[in-house]
Structure 1
Amino acid sequence: MKPFCFSVDQITESQKASLHPMDIGLIRGYAVFDFFRTVNYKPLFLEDYLDRFIKSASKTHLNLNYTAQELEQIIHQLIQKNDLEQGGIRMVLSGGVSDNHFSPADGSLYIFCEELLMPSEEKYGQGVNLLTTEYIRPIPEIKTTNYALPVFLSADWKEKEAEDVLYHFNGIISESSRSNIFMVKDGLISTPKSNILMGITRKKILAFNDQINITDISLEELVNADEVFMSSTTKRILPITRIDGKPIGNGQVGVHTKKIMEDFKSLENKIALN
């Protein structure tokens, strides 16, 4: 964590930030957050992330007493104070301290700047393995702090050489714990439409190609795809070459995946240079 953060109502030293022990963000796991990166001191796709964060607060009945413009001003101040050329910024709105220790109340806002470790070049070059698990994330259209299941499951990911999990339910896939999913079959790119977070990186990929099919995808279709990849803020576009240890297609990073990786990197570089 970087030295300075925004805590409740002011920029302060990060080590001085605190959360009330009865906040339902802590005792009930009820809070929302968002996370984005800086590139050359510029917050990447900031308008999109702020829009999603503000909507998440509204949908979860949490009072966010700052406008998008006020949040943007705070974020730029933090970038400068923390000298955050390349890194991550995490916004968290807690559930608050309520009379019955259960219902949403007036939450507290925190904005932290962090170091950010992207996947290795080996992972981008060879792809990663996902482990399937039957699950739908609670209120999946909202970016809540409820990551209990994947955190629990992550204890043996290293042993199983897994990057993350892949959620499915009633035979239909949705997302990974921190990423959206895409597949390629016979040249057609598809991505799930149901029980997912509307990812910002996903949104940019859809803008590259208006022929991408947004539809329900079965687990059977996915494991028989020619290519599979995931998208997220912290991974950009990361190839998935194995699911449950079994190869996807020929087990190599596919040409469509490589093209989208290049397109996204070009978009990022363009923003960084402007």
Structure 2
Amino acid sequence: MSIGYFNGDYIQLDQAVVPIDERGHQFGDGVYEVIRVYDGKPFMLDEHLRRLITSARAIKLQVEQSEEHFKALILEAVQKSNLLDCDVYLQITRGIAVRKHLFPEAPLSVSMTVRPMRVIEDSVRENGVTAMFHTDERWANCYIKSLNLLPNILAKQTAQDRGCFEAILVKDGYVTEGTSSNVYILKDGTVYTTPLSKQILSGVTRMAVEKVTHSLGIPFIEKMFTPDELLGADEVFMTSTSSEILPIVKVDEKDINQGNAGELTLKMHKKFKELIK
């Protein structure tokens, strides 16, 4: 069953628990992670927790709990949910205090949900999804996985309204990433993706993709590429915790690989599933 957690207590998801002066609620003053659990085992949990702590430090959240504490908390919550395949959302905020911009003297708030895994149907993956280009209007520190996602939400909704699965963000003439994904192109048997910087999130699934490409003997190169280069690619795909490795077959109404899911992309996803096991 789906369950929630807030500052030490397990709760029902429809139970009201967040005070009006919670800084995550009022300012988006916090960070989060989404961890996927397969067969009761969190996938790449250490990498997720390292990124969580890195994000917390970047916004000057003084997290006293260790990564081992959060690991135990997640495992306990998954066990209580009785869900084998699920998505865990973990959030840390600057706590509960009277609203003002300066940091308060208050303990941090920790909340979490455990819900059944959102699964992308095999038919969707085999047929691929569509996307559109959208100007990257986000702030300068996208490497921080913060709660401030309004530009992402607006771009994602624009894509949805136009019948697309994802919006591919473009800044200064180059692709950065998706609204909730990393983006890759395949050209002449080589995978290219945007180099890590403050402008993009260091995706945990991206780390897995790098391992997968190496195991398959596919070169993996970090290199900036333009929208035109993306449209001219042999294959295009996106990755995230929830979408895993997902082919993109059309961008701005222009077919990629004649509108078919790429053979190498599907091969990488098959290898990714083996990595999970």
The answer, yes or no, to whether TM exceeds 0.5 is yes
Question: 8 Å contact 1:24–1:101 — kept in the other structure?
Answer: no
Please say if 1:215 is aligned against 2:223. yes
Residue 129 in structure 1 maps to residue 133 in structure 2: no
Matched-pair contact (CA < 8 Å) for 2:32–2:146: yes
1:203 aligns with 2:207: yes
Report Cα offsets for 1:194-244 as digits up to 9, x if no partner. Answer: 421111110011122342011111122111111100011000100001111
Task: Check if 1:184 corresponds to 2:183.
Answer: no
Provide the rounded CA distance (Å) in 2 between the counterparts of 1:212 and 1:149.
Answer: 29
After superposition, residues 58-73 of structure 1 pair within 5 angstroms as: 58-73=57-72
TM-score with structure 2 length normalisation?
Answer: 0.89
Contact 1:7–1:17 under 8 Å retained in 2: no
Match of residue 79 from structure 1: 78
Alpha-carbon shift at residue 122 of structure 1 (Å): 2.5
Shift of 1:164: 1.5
CA distance in 1, matches of 2:53, 2:273: 27
- The aligned residue for residue 174 of structure 1 is 176
CA distance in 2, matches of 1:30, 1:172: 29
Residues 10 and 169 of structure 1: CA distance in aligned 2, closer, same or farther (over 3 Å): same
Instruction: Please name the residue that 1:238 is paired with.
Output: 246
CA–CA separation in structure 1 for the residues paired with 2:10 and 2:65: 14
Q: Which of 157-166 and 32-41 deviates more?
A: 157-166
Identical positions, percent: 25
Shift of 1:116: 2.4
Aligned to 2:268: 260
SS of equivalent to 2:236: strand
| Counterparts of 1:234 and 1:212, CA distance in 2 | 22
Report matched runs for 1:93-104 at 5 Å: 93-97=92-96, 101-104=100-103
How many Å separate the matches in 2 of 1:166 and 1:123? 19
Please provide the CA RMSD for this pair.
1.9
Give the whole-Å Cα distance in 1 for the aligned partners of 2:93 and 2:205.
Answer: 25
**d(CA) in 2 for partners of 1:154, 1:173:** 16
Q: What are the ranges of 5 or more consecutive residues in structure 2 without an aligned counterpart?
A: none
User: Aligned partner of 1:37: which letter?
Assistant: R
Q: Mark the CA change 1:252 to 1:92 in structure 2 (over 3 Å): closer, same or farther.
A: same
Number of matched pairs: 268
CA distance in 2: counterparts of 1:57 and 1:164, whole angstroms? 27
Provide the C-alpha distance between the structure 2 equivalents of 1:192 and 1:154, rounded to a whole number of angstroms: 20
Aligned to 2:46: 47
Match of 1:144 among 124, 137, 146: 146
